[in-house]
Amino acid sequence: MKSLEQLTDSVFYIMAALTEPRHGYAVMSLIEETTEGAFVVGPASLYTIIKKLVVEQLIQLHDDSDSRRKVYVLTDKGREILLEDIERRKTMIHLAEQGLQRGQK
Amino acid sequence: MKSLEQLTDSVFYIMAALTEPRHGYAVMSLIEETTEGAFVVGPASLYTIIKKLVVEQLIQLHDDSDSRRKVYVLTDKGREILLEDIERRKTMIHLAEQGLQRGQK
DNA sequence: AATGATATATCATTTTGTGATATATCGGAG
DNA sequence: CTCCGATATATCACAAAATGATATATCATT
């Protein structure tokens, strides 16, 4: 993340999972489940990205964290950025689909 | 690209542009235009990725290339992979939108 | 012939992502 | 009550991906 521009896929998945309060491990499991194993964010990537997102204030520690589980949620800023990225991604898909229709083999 | 799994954003943009025959520079300009400057793939990234995509046979040199311009197009394999990635991306967006609706602040 | 846009290319560096590994706790089976 | 697998967080060293800077050459226009 070069600051706040486009989110990478991994970052997007993690932020999408944190629209509701969740702890790291749950985020990891959720992504694997919902993508049916197609996308896996391992612990190294997960905790690295979480750390960055906290620094950038796109997510924050949630109150019901205990010593064992650190629960995170999107901040308002994070929600905003996620929404913007959803729009960007919709545009990407439209572009690709338009191209595929025209360039029919 | 760890071989053929998910496409990164840059790769996706480039492949989407190559649903129709285009040379590198045109791909670069097209992405910048269609995203209204939101996403820029500079020459370094562009030609690095093009080289990789050729090796992976997701794109190939098109006949009407001359010495000056190298025109590329998606291969059948490339088209297939792009379609799969479109589906993956649609799912990503659904996930994020569902989350945002529920986790309303 | 000079200039700016077009066009491809690579090097060195930064940014991102990851496999492996470490550590600790919890809940249940035996 | 202890052993064990699942839960949970964390980091290191490395690999993969992306990029800024730069180089080079050609084309079109002035």
CA-CA distance, A23 to A21, in Å (whole number)? 7
Is B1 within 8 Å of B11 (Cβ atoms)? yes
What does the pLDDT look like over A39-74, one tens digit per residue?
899 999 999 999 999 999 999 999 877 778 999 999
pLDDT number for residue A6: 87
Task: Give the mutation candidate from B10, B19, B22, B91 for the A interface (greatest A CB count, under 10 A).
Answer: B19
CA-CA distance, B11 to A34, in Å (whole number)? 24
pTM: 0.91
Tokens 């059948």 -> residue = B76
Which stretches of chain B drop beneath a pLDDT of 70? 1-4, 103-105
Tallying the residues shown for chain A, one arrives at 105
pLDDT of A103 higher than 90:
no
How much of chain A is in helix, strand and coil states, percent to nearest 5? Answer: 55, 10, 35
How much is the average pLDDT of A19-48? Answer: 93
Q: Which of residues 56-85 of B touch strand C (CB under 7 A)?
A: 68-71
